[in-house]
C-alpha cells in the first residue's frame, strides 16, 4: 500500500484546546487490520479500556477531522490526531513571571520544577501551556528549553513569521547564555576552565554520560565566590557554548563538583522520584543575550531569581 498520507495536513484538524495543541501519531506499514488492533500496542502505558473509550467517543480523528473507531480500517501512511491526557497531573504552586513581551518575543522567569513544554507526566503545568492560555497566544512556540529542574530565563516566539530568524541565532551559537550554580568548593581545581567532552545518552535512563570520542559539548566554568554560600559550597558561573541535554549538570559532576540537590549527577534517585519543593536543583539560567535580528540592537534578559538553600 503506498504511503499516500504521510504528509501532514496544512493545519491540524483539531484546534488548540485550553492552551494544549493536538498530538499526532503516524501509522507505519504493518500487519494490523483495524485501529483497535494497533493503538494498544503503540501506547502500551495507556490502559486498553481508555483507548477503547476514546475511540468510542470519537476523540481520535484522521487528518481531515473524521472520528475514527476501533473497527476503522488500518491505513498505513496516515496520521491520527488526539488530545493527550494526564489525569493525575499535580498543580505547581509557582508563578511564571513575564520579564518581557512584545509582538515577537515573550521572555519568562521559569521556576524550578516546571517543564518548558508538554511531555511525559507534564502537560498543563508547563511554561508553554500556561503562557498560551494566559496570553491567548495559540501560536506561541519555544525558542529553546530548560530542564524541568532548572529555573531562569526562557524565551518564546509569539510570531510564527519571526521564529526562523530567532532560531537561527541559536543554531549559529550567536546567543550568549549565562547560568549560575551552587556546588562544592573546587578544592585543587584551577578555575576558570573550559570542559569539552562527548556526551551520549545512557540507554534506558534519562541521563547522559561522558564517552570517548570527539567532543560535542563545551562549557566554561568560573568561580564567582563564596559570599552567601553554606560552608563547603561555592557559587559558579557556567557559560555553555553548546546546548546538549543535561550538559551543565554532567560537566560539573564529571569535575567532582555536582550541583547541589542534583539527584541524577551523580545518580542518587530515580528520575521518577517525587518532587521535593524544599530542595530545588541549585541551577539558574541567569541571563540570555543576543543581537536582535529585527531591531539590530543587543538585548539582554536577566532572571530576578536567586539561588538559596532551605534552612
What is the pTM (predicted TM-score) of this model? 0.87
What is residue 271's predicted lDDT score, i.e. its pLDDT?
A: 54
Residues of the chain with CATH 3.10.290: 23-82
What is residue 137's predicted lDDT score, i.e. its pLDDT?
A: 96
Confidence of residue 310 (pLDDT cuts 50, 70, 90): low
Mean pLDDT of 232-259: 96
List pLDDT tens digits, range 131-155.
Answer: 999 999 999 999 999 999 999 999 9
What is residue 98's predicted lDDT score, i.e. its pLDDT?
A: 98
pLDDT of 2 > 70? The answer is no
Confidence of residue 234 (pLDDT cuts 50, 70, 90): very high
Label residue 240 exposed, middle or buried (CB < 10 Å: 0-12, 13-18, 19+): buried
**CB of 206 closer than 8 Å to CB of 311:** no
pLDDT of 308 > 90? The answer is no
Confidence of residue 156 (pLDDT cuts 50, 70, 90): very high
pLDDT of 221 > 50? The answer is yes
* Cα(104)–Cα(294) distance, integer angstroms: 10
Bridge partners (DSSP) listed for residue 222: 237
User: What's the topology of domain 98-302?
Assistant: Pseudouridine synthase (3.30.2350)
Domain spanning 23-82, CATH class: alpha beta
And the C-alpha cell for 307? Answer: 539561588
Residues of the chain with CATH 3.30.2350.10: 98-302
Confidence of residue 4 (pLDDT cuts 50, 70, 90): very low
Confidence of residue 227 (pLDDT cuts 50, 70, 90): confident
Amino acid at each position: 500500500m503506498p504511503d499516500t498520507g504521510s504528509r501532514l495536513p496544512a493545519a491540524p484538524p483539531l484546534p488548540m484546546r485550553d492552551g494544549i495543541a493536538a498530538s499526532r501519531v503516524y501509522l507505519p506499514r504493518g500487519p494490523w487490520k483495524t485501529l483497535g488492533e494497533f493503538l494498544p500496542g503503540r501506547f502500551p502505558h495507556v490502559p486498553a479500556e481508555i483507548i477503547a473509550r476514546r475511540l468510542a467517543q470519537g476523540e481520535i480523528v484522521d487528518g481531515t477531522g473524521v472520528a475514527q473507531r476501533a473497527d476503522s480500517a488500518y491505513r498505513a501512511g496516515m496520521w491520527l490526531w488526539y488530545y493527550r491526557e494526564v489525569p493525575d497531573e499535580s498543580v505547581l504552586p509557582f508563578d511564571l513571571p513575564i520579564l518581557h513581551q512584545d509582538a515577537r518575543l515573550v521572555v519568562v522567569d521559569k521556576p524550578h520544577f516546571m517543564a518548558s513544554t508538554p511531555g511525559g507526566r507534564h502537560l498543563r503545568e508547563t511554561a508553554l501551556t500556561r503562557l498560551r492560555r494566559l496570553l491567548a497566544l495559540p501560536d506561541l512556540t519555544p525558542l529553546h528549553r530548560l530542564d524541568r529542574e532548572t529555573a531562569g530565563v526562557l524565551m518564546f516566539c509569539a510570531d510564527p513569521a519571526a521564529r526562523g530568524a530567532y532560531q537561527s541565532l541559536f543554531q549559529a551559537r550567536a546567543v550568549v547564555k549565562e547560568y549560575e550554580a551552587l556546588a562544592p568548593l573546587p578544592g585543587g581545581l584551577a578555575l576558570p576552565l573550559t570542559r569539552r567532552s562527548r556526551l551520549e545518552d545512557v540507554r534506558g535512563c534519562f541521563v547522559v554520560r561522558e564517552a570517548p570520542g570527539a567532543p560535542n559539548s563545551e562549557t566554561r566554568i568560573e568561580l564567582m565566590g563564596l559570599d552567601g554560600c553554606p560552608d563547603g559550597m561555592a557559587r559558579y558561573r557556567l557559560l555553555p557554548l553548546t546546548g546538549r541535554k543535561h550538559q551543565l549538570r554532567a560537566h560539573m559532576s564529571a569535575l567532582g563538583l555536582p550541583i547541589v540537590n542534583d539527584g541524577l549527577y551523580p545518580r542518587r534517585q530515580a528520575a521518577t522520584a517525587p518532587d521535593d519543593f524544599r530542595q530545588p536543583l541549585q541551577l539558574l539560567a541567569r541571563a540570555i543575550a543576543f543581537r536582535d535580528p529585527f531591531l539590530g540592537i543587543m538585548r539582554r534578559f536577566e532572571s530576578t531569581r536567586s539561588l538559596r538553600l532551605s534552612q
